[in-house]
A = this chain, B = another copy of it.
Amino acid sequence: MAKGTLSSSGSLSAKAPEERRERILRATVDVVRTRGFAGARVSDIAEAAGTSQGLVLYHFRSLAGALDAALTLLEDEFYDDLARDLQEQVGPVERLRHMADLGAGHGPAVGDWRLWLELWVRALHDPDARETRESLDRRWRAALREVIAEGAAAGDFDPIDIDSAVIRLASLMDGLAIQLALEDADMTTQRLADLWWDAAVLELRMPR
């Protein structure tokens, strides 16, 4: 009897609740990725998570609640991914180079441009989404600015105006990414990374 007490012995779902919740969140992100915010149904999420519709509504209070939770999950992961990824690189040039690749689509949250597009449009109509995307954008730009400032201080870059350089390079990434997300015939991850890098070379007046 004493039995561990703890989290149950060998029940069907072990310490299920948290894990289940997590699964549903992941499923929500997946559904948004494929069906879009507008096309996401509770039944899609339930099916993707392998649970009942009821449970989705039990854990989050509504469909909107699940979507919001997915949004903040994304936000957190984006930040973690970005921070970790950049820490691995050594100098400013390496970091910037790495950012070009990040945009081209690595990591689970960064570079998932379909999701980004969806977020932008949702931000047009939903205040929560607006805040999330603003926060994401701020973070991304702050990281970019930091790398550039670091490089400028080290003499690797010589931008005419840091503020403008940051905005332009961040915007260019977004613009290029649209074509990637929409599967434009002549846009690949490689091409995106190259185009962006060349722009950075120009913009930051990097010595050859």
The reply to whether B198 and A164 contact each other, CB–CB distance below 8 Å, is yes
**Which residues on B sit within 8 Å (CB–CB) of A2?**
none
The CA of A137 and the CA of B184, in the complex, are separated in Å by: 10
The reply to whether A36 and B125 contact each other, CB–CB distance below 8 Å, is yes
**Which residues 138-173 of A have a CB within 8 angstroms of B?**
164, 167-168, 170-173
The CA of A195 and the CA of B134, in the complex, are separated in Å by: 20
Q: Which of A16-24, A66-74, A174-182 contacts B (4 or more CB under 8 A)?
A: A174-182
Q: Is A106 an interface residue (CB 8 A)?
A: no
The reply to whether A179 and B171 contact each other, CB–CB distance below 8 Å, is yes
Minimum Cβ distance to chain B for residue A150 (Å): 22
Q: Which residue in chain B gives the minimum CB-CB distance to A35?
A: B125
The reply to whether A124 and B181 contact each other, CB–CB distance below 8 Å, is yes
The reply to whether A178 and B120 contact each other, CB–CB distance below 8 Å, is yes
Q: Is A97 an interface residue (CB 8 A)?
A: no
The CA of A137 and the CA of B149, in the complex, are separated in Å by: 34
The reply to whether B168 and A199 contact each other, CB–CB distance below 8 Å, is yes
The reply to whether A171 and B182 contact each other, CB–CB distance below 8 Å, is no
The CA of A124 and the CA of B112, in the complex, are separated in Å by: 13
**Which residues 96-153 of A have a CB within 8 angstroms of B?**
114, 117-118, 120-121, 123-125, 130, 133-134, 137
Q: Is A55 an interface residue (CB 8 A)?
A: no
Name 10 extra pairs, CB < 8 A, besides A36-B121, A39-B125.
A118-B121, A120-B181, A120-B182, A124-B181, A133-B182, A164-B198, A167-B176, A171-B175, A173-B175, A202-B202
List, sorted by A's number, 30 A–B pairs whose CB atoms are closer than 8 Å.
Answer: A36-B38, A36-B124, A36-B125, A39-B125, A114-B124, A117-B120, A118-B124, A120-B178, A121-B121, A124-B181, A124-B182, A130-B182, A133-B182, A134-B184, A137-B184, A164-B195, A167-B176, A168-B172, A168-B195, A168-B198, A168-B199, A171-B172, A172-B175, A173-B175, A174-B174, A174-B178, A175-B175, A175-B178, A202-B202, A202-B203
